[in-house]
Amino acid sequence: MSDAIQSERAFVVAYGASHAGKSLLWYASELLFAYFLTEACGLPPRQMGLILGASLLLNALADLVGGLSLDRWVRTPGDAGRLQALGAILSAGMFVAFGLAGLVPAPDRFAFALTTIILFRLTYAAMDLPQNALLALATADDGARARLASVRYVFAGVASIVVAGAFAPFLQKASDAVAPAAFALFSTGLAACAAASAVFLWRRLSRDRPPRLTTAASSAAATRRDEPVAPRRWPLFLIMFAISASLSIFGRLEPYFVTYGLTSPLDGGALLVCGAVGALASQPFWSWRAQRRSLISTLRIPP
């Protein structure tokens, strides 16, 4: 095996691992934060909604501002690796702090949870945006970007399975007395994985110049340029809104259904894991298709 191939594979593994670490925090926040605030912290649903809504709004603003100014800080893969490692360490620290909210005295719990989750959302953007930028910085064509994106989804799927599989038994067995401590321990473990994987990617990028990934030109379809396409934007916006809203509602209610609607830990674990397995299982198909067709042909739905 040539050094170039070994270097490419090492980068892909390091990048996938760092994305898995980041995904551990994201999936835990999507699946567990609402449940954690009401069940472990004892906050009323109104306060839970306020905390999550305010934090997500600030997260969106952080993504917007960070995206517009990212080119000032990130010009090379090494820059992206360094910034995502710093963001991961800060984000992991805030994630652990939020996980300790259940151990804070009740009068101060709302303010503590609101402050730490906002800081988590803001620092998460410093990890997320540079990692996403590596899709462009470390690839040379659309096919390579699609292939690396598929690797991201595979590792993210593994992370979602880990979160769901580890948390499902806890949902149905943890008592009120141990729930805050268990959440704190759980969040610490996830945060450690996220920070360690981001630092691992940074060290890989600092030690070796990452290869510019390309797709093998084995067919004309893989290398031809896409024809310009002018999609109708509003239908796409409406579809994205509907998908995002439905997934968000389902994700917030899923832990409650597992806890109060199911009596078997096996059934609860299966429900949480099946969605992640489905997303993971579809990725080899998209990777295979992206290497044989142009990007637009890959994404286009046949009439």
CA distances 160 to 26, 172, 205, 248, Å, are 9, 19, 26, 15
DSSP state of 139: B
Per-residue pLDDT tens digits for 143-167: 777 778 878 888 988 898 888 777 7
Domain 3-214+232-299, CATH? 1.20.1250.20
Mean pLDDT for the chain? 80
Tokens of 41: 């912290």
Contact (CB, 8 A) for 17 and 155: yes
Per-residue pLDDT tens digits for 10-50: 888 999 999 999 999 998 888 788 888 887 788 898 888 89
Secondary structure (H, E, C), 178-215:
CHHHHHHHHHHHHHHHHHHHHHHHHHHHHHCCCCCECC
Per-residue pLDDT tens digits for 44-75: 988 888 988 888 888 889 888 988 888 888 88
Indicate the pTM of the whole model.
0.79
Domain ranges in the chain? 3-214+232-299
Per-residue pLDDT tens digits for 246-255: 877 877 777 7
Per-residue pLDDT tens digits for 175-234: 455 578 888 888 999 999 999 999 999 998 887 665 566 555 444 444 444 455 556 777
pLDDT for 112 beyond 90:
yes
Residue written as token pair 């948390």 = 167
